[in-house]
Amino acid sequence: MSVLEQMAADLMKGKANDVKAGVQQALDDGLEPGAILTQGLLSGMGVIGERFKKNEVYVPEVLIAARAMKAGMEILQPKLASAGVQPCGTAIVGTVKGDLHDIGKNLVCMMLEGAGFKVVDIGIDVDPSKFVEEAKACNADVIGVSALLTTTMTNMKGVIDAVRESGISSKVIVGGAPVTQAFCDEIGADGYAADAASAADLAATFCS
Ligand code: B1M
């Protein structure tokens, strides 16, 4: 098994220290930082995302894989920056006004990072105006909006309206347990994703 295949396998098992050591080994072997990212870390995280969508792995496995990815990124990030490797896009993600649930939103952030996005997590209970301000500040390609309550999912419309009124071109993706494709269509969002891995896939289609 190559060092990059081993790194992907270690990431899938959530072995953070082994992933870190693998990244260092690959750099010492003279591998390109971009290749270490795509063929090592992102490759492993991509498999986890697919398995998560098929219910072959669950939230805890995704969380430990994401933690291992973060550990590897600590070493790789400065090398990527100096090699001029750009993220595939920028996404901001938040939970709507009135809603304090953040576990699903955090998973979406991790999957987006795992797909190569620069991610700005703007937190919970977020005003529509803040979604717009933050999207403008980082020139976001994608705005992710999460809601877990039937009483707060209606506030997603406020985010869409604020985004459209501001004239920014960011695509808005909505998701969360009570949200459906029909609701997405009704409020005029650009896309709906049923789970965090699908949100990352959808975001990638908006940036390709
Ligand atoms: Co709350 N809660 N909660 N809660 N809570 C639910 C959601 C509920 C279904 C429980 C129930 O009654 N059976 C219910 C909602 C009912 C409804 O509206 N239909 C409910 C309620 C009523 C409430 C309170 C009103 C309770 C009260 O105070 N009376 C209150 C509201 C507070 C508020 O937000 N204003 C409340 C509070 C809380 C806690 C603070 C105690 C805690 C949140 C802690 C936290 O998030 N840090 C909590 C929790 C933990 C839950 C349950 C048990 C678990 C939610 C969760 O994290 N799931 C939940 C019941 C349940 O789901 N079994 C419940 C795991 C997570 C990975 O799934 O967030 O669905 P989820 O994310 C999924 C997908 O939905 C999707 O991807 C993820 C999977 O990959 N997804 C996206 C999510 N966001 C996405 C965005 C995307 C795309 C996909 O694109 C941008």
The string of pLDDT tens digits covering residues 131-185 is 999 999 999 999 999 999 999 999 999 999 999 999 999 999 999 999 999 999 9
Does ligand 1 come within 6 angstroms of the Cβ of 176?
yes
Q: Are 126 and 95 in contact (CB under 8 A)?
A: yes
Task: Give me the helices (H) in the chain, please.
Answer: 3-12, 16-28, 33-35, 42-53, 59-82, 103-114, 128-137, 156-166, 181-187, 196-207
Atom of ligand 1 nearest to the CA of 194: 89
Question: To test ligand 1's pocket by mutation, which of 57, 97, 142, 148 has the most ligand atoms within 8 angstroms of CB?
Answer: 148
* pLDDT above 70 as % of the chain: 100
Does ligand 1 come within 6 angstroms of the Cβ of 49?
no
Distance 62 CA to ligand 1 centre (A): 18
Q: Report which protein residue has its CA nearest ligand 1's atom 23.
A: 149
**Residue 4 pLDDT grade (very low, low, confident, very high; cuts 50, 70, 90):** very high
**Residue 114 pLDDT grade (very low, low, confident, very high; cuts 50, 70, 90):** confident
